[in-house]
Every structure is written in structure tokens, then in C-alpha cells.
Chains A and B, each alone.
Chain A
């Protein structure tokens, strides 16, 4: 009995970490872009979905998941940069309502475009053989692929943290997050910094889209599912707060990971319970000091 319980705990912990990794990778860009630019991008997860489809297409044509992981996020980030330059920059100073109108419209266009190209059905993407197996831990047999997702998230977070803290560019980006006017007055082109931040946010979400493909498949509704999750994370974490998003993504990971093990039929409600709970105690979210 205790043995079975231990294996349930291990399985729950692995699910928790996997969910945490994925949802933070998706939500990080959304909250950072909102924090720095005041821009609410409802099309954020449409790019995540696009990365999933791109991964599917690349795997289908080349058979290489690794190629998909290397290429799809870059392609999606580049498309995102084009869209940001052409459309989003015009609305950085506009109301959130205008921003939502534009980005929700864009999300529909991307979603319908994906349906036109790839149809309504869901696709599965096979993980590379080396990641396809299972491993045993404390009596539980668990998918290796989950460990892979967690490692991808960890590596990306470490790389980005090192770049932010250790490089000249990171120094300027951090400064621009605090006082963009001052950074401009010191002679830096703040617009370029914004585009870069935007691209990195989409790159992260796109990486999530690629690694998600073998886990849950690629399907037309994946952008909407992820958008609801991400908004919950961003709002409960405090609009614009990266640490807040990290913590709430972890909380959601716990309720998803263990909730789906122990109370699976109610799992769909758990994120909303977390959101409600956090906002009851802290109406502006965990790290939301400033009124948005």
C-alpha cells in the first residue's frame, strides 16, 4: 500500500515539474512583454501553436525531431518579429482594448490559417527513440520524455538568466525594463530592445510548442487551452512579474500534477481555484504591487 502511494507521489511530482516547465515557458514571454511594453498579446499562444504545427511538418518531412526543435522556434520567433514590427508597435501606446482587438483577431487568423493548411484533426508527433522509453523510480514507471521537457526548460532558463545577468546586452535590457526613457536618453535604441525581448518571449513559447507536440499532440484548440492557462498565470502572478509567473506556474503544476492523480475528474477546475485563491488574498496578484 505505501509502495503504491510512493509511486503515485513520484508520478505526481514528475507531472508537476513537467507542467510547471511547459506553462512557465509559455507564460514567461506574455508577462514580460506586458511588463515592459504594456502590451497585452492575446495571440501569444497562437505562436506556440504555430510552433507545434511547424514541428509536426518538419518531423513529417525530415523525420527528425531534433531538427524541428532547432528550427521551429527560430522560424516562429522570426515571424513574431515581423508581426511585432508591422502591427504591434503601432499599438504600444494604445488602450488595452485596442491591443486585445488586434491580437485576438490575429489569433483567429493564425488558428484558421492552421486549419486551412493542416485541417481540423489532431496530429501526434513521435518523440525521438532515445526519449521514447520509460524509467523506474520508487516503483513507478515513468516516461523519459517528461524528464526531457524539464531539462529543456531548465537549460533555457539558465541560458537566459546568464545572458540577462552577465552580458552587456542583458544589462541594458534590465535597465530598459525599469526606465526605458532613461535608456533612450543614454543613447540606446529602446525599440530594438523591445523587439528582442518580444522575440525571446516567443522563442520560449515556441520551444514549449515543439516539446509539447510529442506529449499532447498538435491540435487546433491548443492555442486557446494554453492562452487560458497563461492568463491565469500572468494575472495571479501579478501582471508583468516574471517571478510571480514562475511561482504560479509551479502552483498550477502542483494542482495539475497531484490533482489529476488523486481527483482527476475535477482537474479542469483547479487552475481557476488557484486564480481565485490568489486574488482573494492579493487582488493585484502575487507580485502585482502596481495597479495595472
Chain B
């Protein structure tokens, strides 16, 4: 079992009307690995995430999760087998409280949805978990606050709490640091370093501090192809990457 990669992408290709977005993308994440996925805007990072989490179907190629082919599965099924994701655009339920948002995540995870007509307030079995999940990301004091009244940094932490609360084997984060201040970004790095545990991480991020701090390995996408793959040190030394992605003239 341990030899099977948590996530394996085989020859993924995807085109939209305007042309190819991804071509022949192969990617393998070992269990517990933390992988950064970087590349210029339009490189196909979010498209790749959507193919992994089920929002988009690839034109060709296959997605394997823990050895199981999941190419045609819908997003909710992929969540149920252990893939959790956040979205580039914060997708929290703003008119609900922090507690209600976490309940939504835990409700499904704990299978309590089978009694959908039961009062939402009587969720005693998961109330402790809700509190714990909030505590874990430092939101224990604002459980009753409406989410859209919270500062952006806190909302982002709640976003991550929703993903982590479901204990996914694979965590896919799409630009979690976008829009955060310097201090909030450092909090985010701390949070992920301490709370991810042995979960496998796929992290798309523009902020290179975040990528270098969190990644064991980094994959660079450019024009829909894998340009380079290696340790953070290898990637930062790679002249192709420096030229294409970091905008430096290597000539």
C-alpha cells in the first residue's frame, strides 16, 4: 500500500476553445509529501486542480488516487474518498456563522446527513469537533461570529479549517495566501506547518515564501507543460525556471 502514490496524474491533456491548456502532464505525490505547484498566470495550475478534484474532466489522461482510477468521479465523491480542497476565490458561507460553516463540513464527514430533518442545533456529537476544528486554526473565540464580518485573514483560516476538519488524505489548496498581509501569510505558513500532520499537500501559490517554506518538492508548469520538478533548492537554481517564471534574464 505504501508504495502507491497518494496522487498520480498520467498524461493529462485539456483544451479549451482557445487552445491547449494542459499537455501531457504527469505528476506523482507520495503519501505525506508536500508539493508546491507554481507557474506564471495562465500556466494551467487551477485547471489542473479542477481536474484533480473533479470539477473538470481531462480530454485525455487519467487521475489516480491511492492507486484507484478516479478520472470520471464527481467532486463530491472525490471528497468522500479523501480529497479536500480550497478555492482560489474564498468560498465560505458568509451569512452563516463560523460554527455553521464548520458544521457543514463535519456534518457530511461524520455521516450525520442521514437525518437531514433533524434540528441543526442538535448536533451534540460533533459540537466538540466543531470547537476543536475552530481552535486548531485560532478561531475558537469567534465561533458565533458571522463569517462575512471577520477580517480576510481569519476567513482564510476558516477556509483551511473546513478542509482539515474532514481529515482528507490529500489537501489541495489553490492560492491560500492570495490577498493576505505579510503577518497573515506568516500565520498561514505556521498554521499549515503545524496542522497538516502527515497529510499529502498539493499547494498552488504565487507567494514564493509560502511555497519554499511548505514544499518538499516543487513542480513548475509553463504553458500547460511540466517545465521542471525538484527540491526547492533545485528549483531556485534552475535557469529555465528563473528565466520563465521568476522573470530573470538568464542570458
Contact = CB atoms under 8 A, between A and B. Distances in A.
B79 A169 contact: no
B116 A183 contact: no
Contact of B96 (A175, A181, A186): A175
Interface stretch (A108-116, A187-195, A279-287): A187-195
B75 to A, nearest CB: 4
B120 A168 contact: yes
A187 B79 contact: yes
A113 B55 CA distance: 40
A167 B79 contact: no
B108 A187 contact: yes
Contact of B113 (A163, A168, A182): A168
Nearest to A189: B76
Given A167-B116, A167-B119, A171-B120, A178 B76 contact: no
Interface stretch (B40-48, B87-95, B128-136, B192-200): B87-95
Contacts of A188: 76, 108, 113
Interface in A132-188: 163, 166-172, 174-175, 178-179, 181-188
Contact of B104 (A166, A167, A175): A175
B119 to A, nearest CB: 6
B62 interface: no
B176 interface: no
B11 to A, nearest CB: 25
Contact of B75 (A170, A178, A185): A185
Interface string B167-189: 00000000000000000000000
Contacts of A174: 93, 95-96
Contact of B91 (A166, A167, A179): A179
Interface in B91-106: 91-96, 100, 103-105
B152 to A, nearest CB: 16
Interface in B101-149: 103-105, 107-109, 112-113, 115-121, 123
Contacts of A185: 53, 75-76, 79, 84-85, 87, 91
B104 A171 contact: yes
Given A172-B107, A175-B93, A186-B104, A181 B120 contact: no
Ranked nearest first, the 6 interchain pairs of A and B with the lowest CB-CB distance are A169-B116, A182-B91, A187-B79, A179-B91, A187-B108, A184-B75
Given A166-B120, A179-B91, 13 more contacts: A168-B113, A171-B96, A172-B104, A174-B93, A181-B55, A184-B74, A184-B76, A184-B79, A185-B75, A186-B162, A187-B109, A188-B76, A190-B76
5 contacts: A168-B120, A172-B104, A181-B87, A185-B53, A186-B105
